[in-house]
């Protein structure tokens, strides 16, 4: 589903954020990416979303080489990858419902599809009663659940979460992890960047550790490890 082949990313200031990284993630996997601050985790996510271009190497998503993808096809790629960030990135002037609906509108989904899908996904994340609220009126956990609903409303085969629990207390973090597990069990490939040691140790999923731009550990049913 996702394949990085000998990926190197050197920023224009000369910093080498990823150094000859190769990584394969199968359809339906749940993978944690961990590592020290500055180890290259966010760079890896940005390359996957084609927010950045690699300096060397190839990235395949669904067998398509995205390093050679023309700019006009980037929106199609992004439709296949739902994404959640630490800071939620909701639109404050829109209600919870409209934030989620907006993700479908940009794909030119019909009103009928929007009216069917949005309530379904809000119910899945436990936010049916908050649909009319604005992001400023809901809690951090609810904001992240809104962001999660927005990320999955058009059923992307891949979900990427960059520090999804970074701004949440333990209870809300568990709630988000539970939802990510549920989404994964429905067949979505889930990639989570995190510093949350306790969570990683409890989940017993595959753990890929980056250090200084290199993969130094990759274990199935793993723990956070000492390298991160």
Q: Does 185 bind ligand ATP (CB under 6 A)?
A: no
Q: How many CA atoms lie within 13 A of 145 on its CB side?
A: 27
Q: Does 86 bind ligand ATP (CB under 6 A)?
A: no
Nearer to ligand ATP, 39 or 165 (CB): 39
DSSP 70-123: -GGGHHHHHHTEEEEETT----TTS-HHHHHHHHHHTTT--HHHHHHHHHHHHH
Could you say which of 21, 25, 34, 35 contacts ligand ATP (CB under 6 A)? 35
CB of 211 to ligand ATP, least distance (A): 10
Q: Does 38 bind ligand ATP (CB under 6 A)?
A: yes
Q: Which stretch binds ligand ATP (CB under 6 A): 38-46, 136-144, 149-157, 220-228?
A: 38-46
Classify burial at 71, counting beta carbons within 10 Å of its beta carbon; exposed 0-12, middle 13-18, buried 19 or more: exposed
Q: Does 40 bind ligand ATP (CB under 6 A)?
A: yes
Nearer to ligand ATP, 69 or 214 (CB): 214
Could you say which of 31, 43, 122, 142 contacts ligand ATP (CB under 6 A)? 43
Residue 192 neighbours by CB under 8 Å, 6+ apart: 30, 31, 32, 33, 160, 161, 164, 180
Q: Does 95 bind ligand ATP (CB under 6 A)?
A: no
How far is Cα 26 from Cα 100, in angstroms, rounded to an integer? 28
Binding site for ligand ATP (CB under 6 A): 11, 13, 15, 17, 35, 37-43
């Amino acid at each position: 589903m996702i394949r990085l082949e000998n990926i190197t990313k050197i920023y224009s200031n000369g910093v080498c954020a990823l150094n000859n990284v190769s990584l394969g993630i199968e359809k339906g996997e749940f993978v944690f990416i961990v590592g020290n601050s500055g180890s290259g985790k966010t760079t890896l996510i940005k390359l996957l979303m084609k927010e950045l271009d690699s300096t060397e190497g190839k990235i395949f998503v669904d067998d398509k080489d995205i390093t050679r993808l023309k700019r006009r096809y980037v929106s199609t790629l992004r439709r296949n990858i739902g994404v959640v960030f630490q800071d939620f990135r909701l639109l404050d002037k829109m209600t919870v419902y409209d934030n989620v609906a907006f993700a479908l509108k940009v794909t030119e989904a019909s009103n009928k599809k929007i009216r069917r899908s949005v309530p379904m996904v809000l119910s899945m994340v436990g936010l049916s009663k908050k649909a009319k609220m604005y992001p400023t009126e809901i809690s951090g956990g609810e904001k992240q659940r809104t962001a999660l609903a927005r990320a999955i409303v058009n059923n992307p085969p891949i979900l990427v979460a960059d520090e999804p629990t970074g701004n949440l207390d333990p209870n809300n973090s568990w709630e988000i992890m539970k939802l990510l597990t549920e989404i994964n069990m429905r067949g979505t490939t889930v990639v989570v960047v995190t510093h949350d040691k306790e969570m990683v140790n409890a989940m017993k999923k595959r753990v890929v550790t980056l250090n200084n731009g290199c993969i130094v550990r990759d274990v199935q049913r793993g723990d956070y490890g000492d390298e991160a």
